[in-house]
Amino acid sequence: MAEQQRVSRWYFGGIASCGAACCTHPLDLLKVHLQTQQEVKMRMMGMALRVIRTDGVLALYNGLSASLCRQMTYSLTRFAIYETARDHLGRGSQGPPPFYQKVLLGAVGGFTGGFVGTPADMVNVRMQNDVKQPAHLRRNYSHALDGMYRVLREEGLRKLFSGATMASSRGALVTVGQLSCYDQAKQLVLTTGLLSDNIFTHFLASFIAGGCATFLCQPLDVLKTRLMNSQGEYRGVVHCAMETAKLGPLAFYKGFVPAAIRLIPHTVLTFVFLEQLRKYFGIKVIT
């Protein structure tokens, strides 16, 4: 007798991440603005009002094309590697792989995705931060591809991958926090027998995963943002970390609240969208 099973296609993660990015992009933009302040001057609401007063409501969506381009490189790669490898390991055993294997897969997938997505990520940061620069210092990229082309032409291939080490390391941590912790949290919730595989379970597991991801990656996220937005004032990751440390230990967690406000909803929306894609477009018939 034929049986239907929900599975994930390798590209579902990229599509789901794009959907989530469209909803949370203004929060991501505000997070970048807060992280690139040299001193703690404004909080999230004040920064939002400043952006709106200066450039209008649509300025909250500056860099959306770069954000979507990043999701279709970074997120698509990490989801594809993680889920393909996890499903392969799962087929050779009686159940899902143990948590430590999920962590290793998440780290490998996230590191690879972080490197692949570095050019789009750098352009994303620059486009988001452009609105608070003086008019003569704005880069004014038309869209993500224009930004990557201009960086390549004007600053070289090396600059296009500026901060790749930090982005890859951050990608590894956030993927462990999101994908590995989501799978484990969902597995534990379903094991209790109190909840079924429904949208509430997906929400609960993804909320936990978003919190884990925010805690793990925030220090690296701050350094990555500063490196990508630099005008040559940092000699490398270590120098950037030392300069940031001069502002105090909490400087590594600057923008933590907006990062959590952005990353947790983004994580929740990504996995809710992903589970719906699995439900309606990932049906596999087993005979």
216's CB contacts (< 8 A; 6+ apart) are: 173, 174, 176, 177
Check whether 246 has a pLDDT greater than 90: no
Query: Residue range 70-95: average pLDDT?
Result: 87
In order of 2, 6, 81, 104, 163, the CA distances from 273 in angstroms are 27, 14, 19, 24, 30
d(CA 103, CA 180): 6
pLDDT of residue 231: 73
Greater model confidence, 23 or 42: 23
Q: What is the pLDDT of residue 2?
A: 47
Domain that holds residue 186: 3-286
Say which CATH number the domain at 126 has: 1.50.40.10
- Give the DSSP letter of residue 98: P
Q: What's the pLDDT tens digit per position in 102-127?
A: 999 999 999 999 999 999 988 888 88
Q: How many domains does the chain have?
A: 1
Q: Determine the distance from the C-alpha atom of residue 280 to the mean position of all C-alpha atoms in its chain, rounded to a whole number.
A: 25
Please report, as a single letter, which amino acid is at residue 275.
E
* Strand partners for 284: 5
3 forms beta bridges with 286
pLDDT at position 166 is 79
The structure's pTM equals 0.81
